[in-house]
Structure 1
Amino acid sequence: MEGLLNQPQWRVIDQSAVGIHFQALQSFATDDTLCASVGALEAPATARTWVHHNTVVLGIQDTKLPFLKEAREFLAEQGYQSIVRNSGGLAVVLDEGVLNISLILPEAVKGIDINRGYDTMWQLVQNMFADYHQSIEAREIVGSYCPGSYDLSIDGKKFAGISQRRLRKGVAVQIYLCVNSSGSKRAELIKQFYEIAKKKEQTKFEYPEIVPEVMASLSELLNEQLTISDCLLRLLTELKKNSDFLFAGQLNAAELELLPGYYQRIVERNEKLG
């Protein structure tokens, strides 16, 4: 699976310490921008790292919940803003203890099968934490929030979820890693969100029944207090092993021109959804 990890160059854009004014909507617009430039071979394969403060990111299906407005008000009362992302999945929690990693790869030369994208991120995470000698599984963890066949878990407890965004021959494979603090406490927040948003109503879409105990952070699972910085160092080490040239970068001039358009699109989508 390390074929896609192995790139002639890896550009790393670290936005993990930008702070409270860096909004999740900006993040998803940035990944779309990178998909367009990397897909057009106007930029090298890029790894972007990002952290957001107290944000619940909703999926498109979540916007169909019957009492969504009331549930979003509940989140606001708990100190969380909520936004709707432009990739698949359901509600997830982002905060200062959650590291997000996006791998943006070109699909221009030959197509990247969707499972191959997921497997690449799974392999990367296994490599990053190989020294703990713990089996990291990829399978759906029933009872977790945003469940999927590529939930990453240790001893049956989920600590990460993977999604993909494909745009203009670019592929963004995105993961959230619950690095520290309580995974079950995050899950409890989403459990309450769904209880308020759905109540006892019948819905066409089957929303997850959250069981907080099936979620944990890496620090809890590995019995070591990990930090975002620890994980960033592990990521950079693995990317360096898989590249002739690893360098820190920012958006180039062409990307800076594209970004406002993609940002406006996601802002308008959120405005339409209220």
Structure 2
Amino acid sequence: MQDLATLYPQKTWSVVNQQFSADQGQLAFAHANTLLALTKECQQPIIHFWTLEKTVILGMMDTKLPELTAATDQLTAAGYHYFVRNAGGLGIVADTGILNLGFYLPEVADHLSINAAYELMKTLFSETFNTSNITIEHFEVQHSYCPGEYDLSINGQKFAGIAQRRSKNGIAILLYASIEGDQQARGTLMQHFYQAGKAQQQTRWTFPDVHPETMANLADLLHQPLTVASVSQQLSASLQSNSGLTLQSDLQTLMQEADYQTQLTKNTQLLRRYQPGYQP
């Protein structure tokens, strides 16, 4: 099994930390797309920690809901922003208690399989939160929102989901993890979203029948007072101690340069065409 330490021998990993307000959802995702391009340009693996306030990030499959407008109206009524990401999959919730984490890996697609890439993220969490009475498992947690084979769970309750993108720029391994906050409310929000969208009337595409109790916060599952900031610090420490990575925050200046900002603007504009009601 491939591991992070041997992917890029003697290579320093760049770390980016960002926080976005609720009206910056498309910008947050545009940064993710732009950082994936930057990783190839610089031949530099990048780790991206980010948070986004009170937003539902919809997948393109969600736009197939029979009553999409009613579904998005439900989000707005609950006080949430929303946008559609230009990738497959289903909706996830973002707020200040949710950690979003990305690995952007250049030049490894030929020898890093899809499952091996997922395992990199799962192993990081298993090593970071390694206790005698806790086992982090991966399998699809039925009735969670955005269910997938690499849902991360403890005692059957999901706290994180992992996605993956492969392109000419490299591989992006993307995770969202519910760390703290009202996970019951997040689950109920998505349950009502799919109910308002008449999800069960759609026969061509399958949408989750969300049961809020299938998901929980990592803090609650570990019985620890965790925050997004503390988990980010623990994951970074684990990357250095368990995986032997050298981390540095050296991209901020580069991200302010004209080339990056031009690509960021382009990616933000591309996202607009995926939004409900878009008119060119």
TM-score for the superposition, normalised by structure 1: 0.91
Distance 1:207 1:91 in 2: 10
In structure 1, stretches of 5+ residues that fail to align are none
Distance 2:276 2:199 in 1: 25
Q: Which residue of 2 aligns with 1:89?
A: 89
Map 1:138-153 to 2 at 5 A.
138-153=138-153
Distance 1:200 1:45 in 2: 41
Matched, 1:12 2:15: yes
Distance 1:3 1:223 in 2: 29
- Which one of the candidate residues 237, 250, 268 is aligned to 2:273? 268
The Cα of 1:245 is off from its aligned counterpart by 2.9
The Cα of 1:268 is off from its aligned counterpart by 2.5
Aligned partner letter, 1:183: Q
- Contact 2:109 2:171 survives alignment (8 Å): no
Aligned partner letter, 2:14: R
- Contact 1:99 1:178 survives alignment (8 Å): yes
Map 1:65-104 to 2 at 5 A.
65-104=65-104
Helix, strand or coil at the partner of 2:86: coil
Q: Tell me the alpha carbon deviations over residues 181-227 of structure 1, each in whole angstroms, 9 at most, x when there is no partner.
A: 23232111100100000165243111111111111001111112211
- Contact 1:61 1:90 survives alignment (8 Å): yes
The Cα of 1:273 is off from its aligned counterpart by 5.2
The Cα of 1:39 is off from its aligned counterpart by 2.4
The Cα of 1:132 is off from its aligned counterpart by 6.6
Q: Tell me the alpha carbon deviations over residues 144-193 of structure 1, each in whole angstroms, 9 at most, x when there is no partner.
A: 00001000000000000001122323111010010012323211110010
Q: Which segment is superposed worse, 163-172 or 198-207?
A: 198-207
Distance 1:57 1:88 in 2: 11
- Contact 1:137 1:152 survives alignment (8 Å): yes
- Contact 1:87 1:164 survives alignment (8 Å): no
Helix, strand or coil at the partner of 2:207: coil
Map 1:128-139 to 2 at 5 A.
128-131=128-131, 133-139=133-139
- Which one of the candidate residues 240, 262, 265 is aligned to 1:257? 262
- Contact 1:55 1:81 survives alignment (8 Å): yes
Q: Alignment length, in residue pairs?
A: 271
Distance 2:188 2:245 in 1: 44
Distance 2:24 2:143 in 1: 28
Map 1:66-215 to 2 at 5 A.
66-107=66-107, 110-131=110-131, 133-198=133-198, 201-215=201-215
Change (3 A) 1:158 1:255: same
Q: Tell me the alpha carbon deviations over residues 34-90 of structure 1, each in whole angstroms, 9 at most, x when there is no partner.
A: 2212124x1410000111111011111100101111110110111101111122320
Distance 2:166 2:225 in 1: 35
Q: Which residue of 1 aligns with 2:230?
A: 230
Q: Which residue of 2 aligns with 1:31?
A: 32
- Contact 1:160 1:175 survives alignment (8 Å): yes
The Cα of 1:244 is off from its aligned counterpart by 5.3
Map 1:233-252 to 2 at 5 A.
233-241=233-241, 242-243=243-244, 245-251=246-252, 252=254
- Contact 2:16 2:48 survives alignment (8 Å): yes
Change (3 A) 1:170 1:22: farther
Q: Tell me the alpha carbon deviations over residues 70-122 of structure 1, each in whole angstroms, 9 at most, x when there is no partner.
A: 11011011110111112232011111100000010013584421111111111
Q: Which segment is superposed worse, 98-107 or 24-33?
A: 24-33
In structure 2, stretches of 5+ residues that fail to align are none
Identity %: 34
Distance 2:217 2:225 in 1: 10
Q: Which segment is superposed worse, 81-90 or 62-71?
A: 81-90
TM-score for the superposition, normalised by structure 2: 0.89
Distance 2:20 2:57 in 1: 17
- Contact 2:160 2:175 survives alignment (8 Å): yes
Aligned partner letter, 2:272: V
Helix, strand or coil at the partner of 2:201: coil
Map 1:45-56 to 2 at 5 A.
45-56=45-56
